[in-house]
Structure 1
Amino acid sequence: MNERDSEQVARMFVEGGYTLTRDEQDADAILVNTCSVRDQAEQKALGKMGMMGKHRERRGHVVYGFMGCMAQSRGEELFERIPHLDVVVGTQKYHRVFGYVDGILKQRLEQRMDVVGAEMESVRVEDDLVAKGSGPGPAKSVLDTGEEEGSQNTIRDHVAGERQPTAFVSIMQGCNMRCSFCIVPDTRGKERGRPIADVVEEVRRLAGKGTKEVTLLGQIVNLYGRTEFPRVGGRSPFVQLLEAVHEVDGIERIRFTSPHPIGYRDDLVAAFTYLPKLCSHIHFPMQSGSDRILKAMRRPYKNEKFISICEKMKAARPDLAITTDIIVGFPTERDEDFQATVDCVERLQFDNSFIFRYSKRKNTPAAELDGQLPERVKEQRNQELLRVQGEIAVRRNAALIGTRQAVLCTGPSKTNKERLSGRTSQNKIVIFDGDAERMEGEIFEVEIEDSTGFTLFGTAAPEVGVGAGVEFGDERAVGPRY
């Protein structure tokens, strides 16, 4: 979600005449979009911004800013922590970042020109005059973390001119759940959904520029529109949105993240039987396999319900891959609670798990619970579950060797620019050789030849442009038209 928010901000700067750069030493404005889900993410952002203060000595006009969840939760405190910080903007004000930064930067550049002009004038009149201060004067800092009605509708634009085989599409903001470990409801606000027609129009624009795959984003994406839009024919607003996006010509794959067991109803399960563009992958956070810990987390479901949904999904789409999030070392977690989590991972055979050690988050109920576990215990459990999940992933990916997989090429590999990278419908990374200019943004088959456990390697079939939909009998099933 942060990546999508950052793209919206970047688009506004490009439209305002700025050029994006990956080199912070060349930048006139440096913005860090922050996350507060874990303390490590906040500390990394604070450390990075602190180190960048060295550029102010050489380029005094540069504007520094924090955006996002940490900016929302910490606010004024960040100016005390980072003396050179200029802008702190919360999660409902991304669309205002450009105006704030541009205003400060223009003021500083004008002040610098005034100083230079005065120096030049003084030199002409009196050659031995001592030079005046060379740095620009201070500009006002900006703190904006307030709520703004309709802010969910402002994350809608993408960076112009860039070919995007895949794209994120924000469909909602906020969360009404109150998991005891999570700060998101405080940083993102209450659930607010965009109208279906607006989302579909954004997807159409992306398809018109060559995008083949979209990922629909929400804090709890399957609860989209539940308090704002009506159910129609027994279908939730989210399923209605999936059906509408499915009808957009040019879009061949649809993903969504992240759903929650609450609200994951049979109409969403059924959608995987008649919407072939839905990818055969869901990222479905479990958090714990222990009912006692789930209750302490304020996750209002039992583990058997989670398992039941996974089994229904695999019955609806037999080639489905499921990945998950798990927290280990939650307060009061006993050996038997952890073992219940291990047992569930082994039962469901997740394709991958993102496993995190519990860390306290400010102003969350879990942070005040008795029974906080030592870091040593958290680390032991983290390593054990990583080992279990790693063995499962190796087996599942090894089973794909010798098969052909439909892959959407997303461009050069991040680790080896000489090779190409893409993803299967199950969201598995595939590395292969090929012509980036011809293959990027296309879906074609790759013969899988090897696996390192989490990455597949193969050779592209000679025919490019193979369809990536899921076959249902002799014809492709389609949903209602909008």
Structure 2
Amino acid sequence: MNAEKKVAFYTLGCKLNFSETSTIARNFVNEGFKRVDFDTKADVYVINTCSVTDNADKRFKSIVKNALKKNDEAFLIAVGCYAQLKPEELAAVDGVDLVLGATEKFNVTSYINDLTKNNVGEVHSCEISDADFYVGSYSIGDRTRAFLKVQDGCDYKCTYCTIPLARGISRSDTLQNVITNAKEISSKGIKEIVLTGVNIGDYGKGEFGNKKHEHTFLDLVKELDTVDGIHRLRISSIEPNLLKDETIDFVSKSNSFVPHFHIPLQSGSDELLKKMKRRYLTNTYTNRVSKIKEVMPNACIGVDVIVGFPGETEELFLETYNYLNEMNISYLHVFTYSERPNTEAVEMDGVVPKKVRAKRSKMLRGLSAKKRRAFYESQLGNTLTVLFENENKEGYINGFTENYVKVKSPWNPDLVNTLHTITLTEIDEDGLVRFNFEKNLATI
């Protein structure tokens, strides 16, 4: 019966969610379902939700409506962080049939007896303390790079964050299982693997959430660097206090790891970092950036920053702006603070008006554009390696260099998922870099 049924997926949020959606999708395919695009008619729609921003919550209802427009008899399933935090709320959305929490989402097919729509959404969720086991996952087939999950959960108590409530305690995959998954990804011809998790620098906590450190993040990095067939390994977001000199030094000399780091800052004000209960101050962050640039002058460094946190006066915001302006960084991911239930920050004084939050966000996005342009200009004349993506964007194919410069070339399907050595020559009007070919590294 399932062989005739179609399933579609929509993912909100982070790289970790994308890796988990891909694993859930493979479970459906193994059960005989055919995976189709979300914008086509399907029998089952699975929405992997996010709880990081208010906007992600609001988008859920519109995504449900869009699915029902394609097929008003479709069976709708919600999984992910918001499904764990607010299962009853999602179950009450018109058209939702099944809501699964943190421990249930990887067994979604076992909760489907038939695909008859429910009058009221059925909820299967757990106490988050029960989420003390690890399920490995990775994305494959969605794009030219794969997201490989190595860690889940978080033991940090940042005052604005709901992730520990949605994903539970910090826990890690076994080193052997990560390597097995990396080899499987490599065997499918994927050229780049991005390591992902909630707090990947915390890697090494036991498979079932115990606190005995079996391996460190550096052990993981060193072992992955020995896997044959992986052209590129990219570290996704890693906390500055967990990014050690030894790791930076190893990446600078490694076979596969690329010179690109994404390091959350959240605020350039020590006063606000303390209110946020971050585990570092700006001097630690400055030292991390300096160390990276010392051993990898052409490294790309991305930064997460939050604007409008309670107590962020104009003076403290300018402290952040000026700090970032002076730092040798490459781009920003700017998040506008949004109140999240069951967090310490929601009870704090000094609420910043939403119009002020929007203004500050716009200022930092402008700074990000300036930083990215300056970084791209610093790379002109350099010879780098580009990996081409698989989309035709208005007659062009895009790709990324190892240090995350986005480049463009006239569309050629033969370039998809191939690596080439290029010289960066000029920045186009749209901010992307044009280039001249020098030699072909690999065409597979």
Tell me by how many angstroms 1:440 deviates: 2.3
**Distance in 1 between residues matched to 2:375 and 2:430, nearest whole Å:** 9
| TM-score (norm. length: structure 1) | 0.82
State the alpha-carbon separation in 2 of the partners of residues 3 and 89 from structure 1: 17
Structure 2 letter corresponding to 1:74: K
Distance in 2 (alpha carbons) for counterparts of 1:283 and 1:325: 8
2:417 pairs, out of 438, 441, 449, with: 441
SS in 1 for 2:379: coil
Corresponding residue number in structure 2 for 1:35: 50
Q: Pick one of 72, 78, 86 that aligns with 2:97.
A: 86
CA contact (8 A) 1:433 1:460 kept: no
**Is residue 409–residue 422 contact of structure 1 (8 Å, CA) maintained in 2?**
yes
| Distance across 2 between alignment mates of 1:41 and 1:320 | 31
Q: Please tell me whether Structure 1 or Structure 2 has the larger radius of gyration of its CA atoms.
A: 1
Aligned to 1:67: 79
- Aligned-pair CA distance for 1:306: 0.8
What is the rounded CA distance, in whole Å, between the counterparts of 2:406 and 2:338 in structure 1? 29
For residue 431 of structure 1, give the secondary structure of its aligned residue in structure 2: strand
- Correspondence 1:137-286 to 2 at 5 A: 138=118, 141-146=121-126, 151-155=133-137, 158=139, 162=141, 165-226=144-205, 237-286=216-265
Which of structures 1 and 2 has the larger relative contact order (alpha carbons within 8 angstroms, sep 6+)? 1
Secondary structure at 2:110 match in 1:
helix
Counterpart Cα distance in 1 of 2:380 and 2:353: 41
1:175-208 CA distances to partner (integer Å, 9 max, x unpaired)? 1101000000000110110100000011111111
Mapped to 2, the partners of 1:23 and 1:446 lie a distance apart of 36
Moved more, 173-182 or 427-436: 427-436
Cα distance, 1:327–1:149 mapped onto 2, change above 3 Å: closer
Equivalent residue in structure 1 for 2:114, among 104, 117, 120: 104
Match of 1:332 among 287, 293, 311: 311
What TM-score do you get using the length of structure 2 for normalisation? Answer: 0.88
Unaligned runs of 5+ in 1: 109-136, 468-482
**Comparing 139-148 and 68-77, the one that deviates more:** 139-148
Equivalent-residue separation in structure 2 for 1:398 and 1:441 (angstroms) = 26
CA gap 1:168/1:334 in 2 versus in 1, 3 angstroms: same
Q: How many correspondences in the alignment?
A: 423
> In 2 relative to 1, CA 453–317 (structure 1 residues): closer, same or farther, beyond 3 Å?
farther
1:374 & 1:336 partners in 2: Cα distance? 15
State the partner residue of 2:432. Answer: 456
* Distance in 2 between residues matched to 1:461 and 1:93, nearest whole Å: 49
1:372-451 mapped onto 2 (5 Å cutoff): 372-413=351-392, 415-416=393-394, 418-433=395-410, 435-437=412-414, 439-451=415-427
- The partner residue of 1:45 within 60, 63, 70 is 60
- C-alpha distance in structure 2 between counterparts of 1:150 and 1:460, whole Å: 51
Structure 2: gaps of 5 or more residues:
1-15
Deviation at 1:351, TM superposition (A): 1.0
**Which secondary structure does the structure 1 equivalent of 2:96 belong to?**
coil
Letter in 2 for 1:4: S
Q: In the aligned structure 2, how far is the partner of 1:384 from the partner of 1:289?
A: 15
Cα separation, 1, equivalents of 2:87 and 2:38: 27
1:219-274: per-residue Cα shift (whole Å, max 9, x none)? Answer: 11111014658779xxx611111111111111011112211122222222222233
CA distance in 1, matches of 2:166, 2:317: 29
Q: What is the match of residue 123 of structure 1?
A: none
- 1:327 partner SS: strand
Cα separation, partners in 2 of 1:184 and 1:149, compared to 1, 3 Å? closer
CA shift at 1:7, angstroms?
0.7
CA RMSD of aligned residues (A): 2.4
In the alignment, is the contact (CA less than 8 A) between 1:71 and 1:78 conserved in 2?
yes
Give identity over the alignment, percent.
25
CA distance in structure 2 between the partners assigned to 1:383 and 1:453 by the alignment: 21
SS at match of 1:92: coil
Distance (Å, rounded) in 2 between the aligned partners of 1:184 and 1:152: 16
1:270–1:198 Cα change, 3 Å? same
The amino acid that maps onto 2:421 is E
What is the DSSP-based 3-state SS (H/G/I as helix, E as strand, rest coil) of the residue aligned with 1:20? Answer: strand
Q: Structure 1 pair 376/209, CA: closer, same or farther in 2 (3 Å)?
A: same
Supply the distance in 2 between the matched residues of 1:231 and 1:99 (Cα, whole angstroms).
33
Q: Does 1:11 align with 2:26?
A: yes
Q: Structure 1 residues 263 and 404 mapped into 2: Cα distance closer, same or farther (>3 Å)? A: closer
1:88/1:278 CA distance change after superposition, 3 Å:
same
The structure in which a higher percent of residues are strand is: 2
Determine if contact 1:181/1:361 at 8 Å carries over to the other structure. Answer: yes
| Partner secondary structure for residue 320 of structure 2 | helix
Aligned match of 2:11? none
Q: Deviations over 1:427-474 (max 9, x none)?
A: 22211136323x32221122333325884232451521169xxxxxxx
| Partner Cα separation in structure 1 for residue 213 and residue 25 of structure 2 | 36
Deviation at 1:405, TM superposition (A): 2.4
Which 10-residue stretch deviates more, 218-227 or 333-342?
Answer: 218-227
